[in-house]
Structure 1
Amino acid sequence: MSRSRWLPNQHGAWAMLAVPFLAGTFLGHPRWVHLPLLAAWLLGYLAVYHAQQWLRLTRISRNPKAPRRHVRPALVFGSAGAVVGLALAVSHPWLLLTAACAAPFVAVNSLYAYANRERSLLNGVAAVIPACGMLLVALRLGGGSWGAGVAPALTCLLYFGGTVPYVKTMIRERNSAAYRRGSVAYHAAALVAASLLNPWLAAPFTLYLLRASLLPGRGLKVGVVGAVEVLCSLVLLGVVVGVF
């Protein structure tokens, strides 16, 4: 299999997986144990991705080889993730509870995959919530308290939740005025909510509101849209670590 068939080409997903995790790590005390946790997190994502693609293609594809190509990656990534995750759970049993908390969201994403509705707004939100929840897990593993992670996790949720409708206005729904209005309305509300969490957050969330207001309809290429989101994600990481 080619590398592209093993690793999904979803740049936004990688930012969503990495930023909350790194924020939680640096808000606490970075430890060596964060490395196997990161490995288990990424391996778990890859296993679930391929399993969901198998579900989707088994239902809609007439070519039996299409879903079959996801079986091997799902088994390899799933087995590796299970080994790393269970080794971590031996010394940190509470991690099993956090995995159980993520399970309902994975189930929702799997149902949407089976229905071939992965681009649904609700499906995107269901994916964002556990990703932002990893901030709490990484922070707790580094000696921080659950309470200290609530505000930064909500900050990540406000940003990444906004990327779901915003990216649609740039690509699949770029001609939809309703999506644009909804995206701008969300970002305006997110600006208010973030400012209530911490006044310093007004600056980056004003930036996010401006991008949601000004960039749709300008015909930007997908690569440029992705680059802007990477930059915004890095800004988020720096601000969250600096503010909290």
Structure 2
Amino acid sequence: MKFKKPNQHGVWAMLIMPFLFGIFAGVFSLYHLLFITGWFLVFFAVDNLLFYIKKRKKDKGYLLSAGMFGGLAVLCLLLLVIHQPALLFFFGMMISFGGLNIYFASIRDERNVLNDLSAVTIFSIAGCISYFIGREVFDGEMVKVFIFSFLYFVGTILYVKTMIREKRNKKYKWLSYSYHLLLVVAGFLCHILIGMAVIPSLMRAVMFYGKNYKPMKIGLVEIANACFVTLMVGLYFLK
């Protein structure tokens, strides 16, 4: 059995931010602890599975790890579903989008924008689950949790592409600049706290462009930015 250690620092923010958004917008429950445990196990399982799929030289050790984490995740999430059967709706959507990620991994086209958007959608749905666990309703606040998560993560994808994979592509540069500017404008139209939350995202998209930063530094900056966004969004929901 082998374990692939996650090497993308920004992914931790994607795992945790929507979960916290859902709690801030809703009500904390002890079932949240069960969900976050299962959610991390799902991530480890999928990460090892995708790594196994895209490797030309297959190592079943990663497949065994995926199975172990997946089994534990099912146990945790099954207890949640027994408590709140409606959660099957959210998990079903996650699985559907997860199928796209598996497909792109199998054809080694993980840079495809649809693959990125699919992953972002899955992470954002996790925020909806977190909200539903506390409130047990489908309402406008849940929609906000999804939208805030989705829009922020799309911006993160564009920024990271301009810093690593597409750093010489001027189209991505201006797409990132434009997107982040519109995000700030939309944020202030929503609420001053949301507008303030995304200002640093615009600043780092413009100021860091063209800099030869190592992926670790880029990831650490993203974690710091994610903490700030989480704080401001939390203040917005708790106001």
Q: What corresponds to 1:155 in structure 2?
A: 148
Q: Displacement of 1:144 after TM fit?
A: 6.1
Q: Matched residues in 1 for 2:136 and 2:149: separation?
A: 17
Q: What corresponds to 1:87 in structure 2?
A: 79
Number of equivalences = 236
Select the residue among 119, 130, 137 that pairs with 1:127: 119
Q: Residue 121 of structure 1 contacts residue 165 of structure 1 at CA under 8 Å; is this kept in 2?
A: no
Residues 126-156 of structure 1: CA deviation (Å, up to 9, x unaligned): 1011211221211121126432221232112
Q: Displacement of 1:237 after TM fit?
A: 0.8
Q: Matched residues in 1 for 2:39 and 2:12: separation?
A: 11
Select the residue among 39, 50, 53 that pairs with 1:52: 50
Q: What corresponds to 2:190 in structure 1?
A: 197
Q: What corresponds to 1:21 in structure 2?
A: 19
Q: What corresponds to 1:222 in structure 2?
A: 215
| Aligned-partner residue type, residue 73 of structure 2 | G
Q: What corresponds to 1:241 in structure 2?
A: 234
Select the residue among 166, 169, 184 that pairs with 2:159: 166
Superposed, which structure 2 residues align to 1:137-156 within 5 Å? 137-143=129-135, 145-147=137-139, 148-156=141-149
Select the residue among 151, 156, 172 that pairs with 1:179: 172
Q: Residue 151 of structure 1 contacts residue 197 of structure 1 at CA under 8 Å; is this kept in 2?
A: no
Q: Matched residues in 2 for 1:183 and 1:232: separation?
A: 16
Q: Displacement of 1:108 after TM fit?
A: 0.9
SS at match of 1:220: coil
Q: Displacement of 1:71 after TM fit?
A: 0.9
Unaligned runs of 5+ in 1: none
Q: Would you identify which runs of 4 or more consecutive aligned residues in structure 1 move more than 4 Å?
A: none
Q: Residue 9 of structure 2 contacts residue 216 of structure 2 at CA under 8 Å; is this kept in 1?
A: no
| Aligned-partner residue type, residue 112 of structure 1 | F
Q: Matched residues in 1 for 2:126 and 2:166: separation?
A: 29
TM-score scaled to structure 1, two decimals? Answer: 0.90
Residues 65-108 of structure 1: CA deviation (Å, up to 9, x unaligned): x3423111111001101111112211111111110011221011
| Aligned-partner residue type, residue 84 of structure 1 | C
| Aligned-partner residue type, residue 85 of structure 1 | L
Q: Which moved more, 1:94-103 or 1:66-75?
A: 66-75
Residues 45-78 of structure 1: CA deviation (Å, up to 9, x unaligned): 2212222222222xxx1x3xx3423111111001
Q: Residue 124 of structure 2 contacts residue 145 of structure 2 at CA under 8 Å; is this kept in 1?
A: no
Q: Residue 23 of structure 1 contacts residue 135 of structure 1 at CA under 8 Å; is this kept in 2?
A: yes
Q: Residue 121 of structure 1 contacts residue 164 of structure 1 at CA under 8 Å; is this kept in 2?
A: no
Q: Matched residues in 2 for 1:50 and 1:224: separation?
A: 24
Q: CA 1:223/1:55 → structure 2, altered by over 3 Å: closer, same or farther?
A: closer
Q: Matched residues in 2 for 1:201 and 1:159: separation?
A: 11
Q: Matched residues in 2 for 1:50 and 1:179: separation?
A: 30
TM-score scaled to structure 2, two decimals? Answer: 0.92
Q: Matched residues in 2 for 1:16 and 1:91: separation?
A: 26
Q: Residue 21 of structure 1 contacts residue 138 of structure 1 at CA under 8 Å; is this kept in 2?
A: yes
Q: Displacement of 1:122 after TM fit?
A: 2.1
Q: Matched residues in 1 for 2:88 and 2:137: separation?
A: 18
Q: Which moved more, 1:92-101 or 1:193-202?
A: 193-202
